[in-house]
Homo-oligomer: A and B are copies of this chain.
């Protein structure tokens, strides 16, 4: 794991939720920063591309892009350049989120580009086999998220503990340096605790925080729950 971030890590994906767009992205990031300072737990945020600069200049917490394209500078209109998210203030990026999947060779190239630009790479995978495959590409982090649980409130750490356990096992066999997060359905502090007890080093979360009535409270609950 790169020095910029510590584990256990709570990584909050802002998706394209209106509750986390523009000014609201900055507000949510500030709440995450507050909780991180209060609890000494590492919390990262992944806002939309357009909000990276404002979030990064308004807070001290690690900021991730939600995606980068497997490209170098050049003629790539409408694409997302690693250099650009880096210069905007991101220290890492999601790659291959289930809502923004890539061809295998493009994941390989995106991980290489991230490594070259010193961006922390978080490759998302939908199951344990795909996690093992992704581990061979040597990203910094793999986040396993069974897509059928995303946004359901049914935590992967409870519904499919064997997927989490096997992902940790298979990923470490292929590449012991890779950090494993898990996501999908994480809604309560106990789900976070369960994820860590299954051998992960953190969680990738979205709606349970972004769409919470009291974002601060649930962030705090998640952060406390990492102290096991």
Is the CB–CB distance between B104 and A77 below 8 Å? no
Nearest opposing residue in chain B for A25, CB measure: B84
Which of B16, B66, B130 is within 8 Å of A104, CB to CB? B130
Q: Say how many copies of this protein the assembly contains.
A: 4
Q: Tell me if A101 is interfacial: C-beta within 8 Å of chain B.
A: yes
| A160 interface hit (Cβ, 8 Å) | no
CB distance A78 to B66 under 8 Å? Answer: yes
From A36-44, A132-140, A185-193, A218-226, the one touching the partner chain is A132-140
* List of B residues within 8 angstroms of A51 by Cβ: 53, 84, 88
| A52 sits at the interface (CB 8 A) | yes
| A54 CB to nearest B CB, Å | 6
* CB atoms of B207 and A83 under 8 A apart: no
User: Restricting to A51-83, which residues have a CB under 8 Å from any CB of B?
Assistant: 51-54, 66-67, 71, 73-81, 83
Decide yes or no: A133 and B127 within 8 Å by CB, A16-B81, A77-B66, A103-B104 being known contacts.
no
- Find chain B residues with CB under 8 A from A104 CB: 96, 101-104, 107, 125, 130, 133-134
* Cβ-neighbour of A97 out of B13, B77, B88, B136 (below 8 A): B77
Return A41 CB to nearest CB of chain B, in Å: 23
- Does A177 sit within 8 A of B, measured CB to CB? no
Q: Contact at B133–A50, with CB atoms within 8 Å? A: no
- Let me know if A87 and B21 touch, CB within 8 A: yes
A227 close to B (CB within 8 Å): no
Q: Which residues of B contact A54 (CB under 8 A)?
A: 53
A-B contacts, 9 of them at CB < 8 A, read A15-B74, A16-B77, A18-B73, A50-B85, A66-B78, A77-B94, A101-B103, A104-B130, A108-B133
* A45: chain B residues within 8 A (beta carbon): none
How far apart are A58's CB and chain B's nearest CB, in angstroms?
Answer: 12
